[in-house]
Amino acid sequence: MRADRLVAILLLIQARGQVTAAEVAAENEVSTSTARRDLEALSASGVPVYPQPGRGGGWTLVGGARTDLSGLTAPEARALFLLAGPAATADPPVRSALRKLVRALPETFRAGAEAAADAVVVDPARWGARGPDAGGPAGALQEAVVARRRITMGYADRRGNATERLVDPWGLVDKDGTWYLVAGTADGRRTFRLDRITSVDPTDVPSERPDGFDLRQAWDQVVDDVERRRSTVTATVRVAARFVPVLRDHFGRHATVLGGGDGDPVRLRVAAHSAVSIAEQLAGWGARVTVEEPDAVRDELARIGAELVASSRKDP
């Protein structure tokens, strides 16, 4: 662990030119005395690190020595961070490795690499679940997100109506195999499916991005909004305890246990965008599920049952 920390300290000095023991301690989440011992260990091991005494002093590299990731081009660095970005959103070790990699990059590459690391979010959960093929011109959109350039794009809505839009591309999200563009528009933040984007034309105008924008947080808000619209109708049902895991897996986040159990049926609240949708999802359960309310869901179940009886009746 200490060797890993010493490398991190060396890269930190390289990036900033000069650091204090307190800055090293804060960056590596250790005490100031531990940071000071690490700096002295670097110097004793032959690394050209030495202290500058007095006010405004600190530790620096002799003669501007540096450890460089030579051989990486700017496009290669951006591509590397685009690939690592999704994993970094959920994996602390990957985030730590990316921070160290940024410090080791030539200074002219760092801004593009950091932007690329924050350009893509992968959300593997299907819609409605508790907890993937990109269509459309994904490559051009990635470049626009990283370069932070406004784009003109052709877009066809779900009805096939084609429009041309001027947007600020903020990031790309993979949601259960479907890709989305999160972008700023004249009407505020909007989300576009990549498989409905028909063309992408970058402009020379820098894109505008809200201060402190976080793609993961923005996408979480999008998911919350969509799931709210998908769960405007609720029903209360009773089911044997052994079937609860199956029902909860079926409805995902739209199934909430209300009570019961210990030998008694369990009461759950399930939700969908309409009474018909709830009834269609419950119809296959037959008598194993009892719907307490609302009447609209019970009526739809009765209709489905009558249709099944009529369609299954043998001709005399």
Give residue 294's pLDDT.
92
Averaged pLDDT for residues 72-88:
55
Averaged pLDDT for residues 281-309:
90
Per-residue DSSP letter, 126: P
Alpha carbon distance 284, 102 (integer Å) = 54
Give residue 165's pLDDT.
93
Mean pLDDT of the chain: 78
Alpha carbon distance 243, 227 (integer Å) = 24
Residue 263 parent element (H or E): none
Model pLDDT for residues 7-38, shown as the tens digit of each residue: 677 777 777 778 888 888 888 888 888 888 88
18 or 238: which carries more pLDDT confidence?
238
Averaged pLDDT for residues 215-236:
85
| pLDDT > 80? residue 265 | yes
By mean pLDDT, which of 103-107, 128-132, 169-173, 304-308 is the weakest?
128-132
Give residue 1's pLDDT.
45
Give residue 309's pLDDT.
85
Model pLDDT for residues 135-174, shown as the tens digit of each residue: 457 778 888 888 889 999 999 988 888 999 999 999 888 8
Averaged pLDDT for residues 286-299:
91
Model pLDDT for residues 112-133, shown as the tens digit of each residue: 666 666 666 656 566 666 554 4
83 or 216: which carries more pLDDT confidence?
216
From residue 312, alpha-carbon distances to 258, 284, 305, 306, 316 in Å are 36, 15, 10, 10, 12
Nearest to 254 by CA among 282, 221, 281, 227: 227
| pLDDT > 50? residue 270 | yes
Q: Judge whether 237 and 213 are in contact, CB under 8 Å.
A: no
Q: Could you give the domains of the chain?
A: 2-64 (1.10.10.10), 74-118 (no CATH), 138-229 (2.30.30.520), 233-312 (3.30.70)
Alpha carbon distance 102, 272 (integer Å) = 45
82 or 292: which carries more pLDDT confidence?
292
| pLDDT > 70? residue 198 | yes
| pLDDT > 70? residue 212 | yes
Give residue 185's pLDDT.
92
Alpha carbon distance 261, 284 (integer Å) = 23
From residue 26, alpha-carbon distances to 22, 29, 50, 54 in Å are 6, 5, 20, 21
Q: Burial code of 107-117, b = ≥16 C-beta within 10 A, e = fewer?
A: eebbebbbbbb
| pLDDT > 70? residue 74 | no
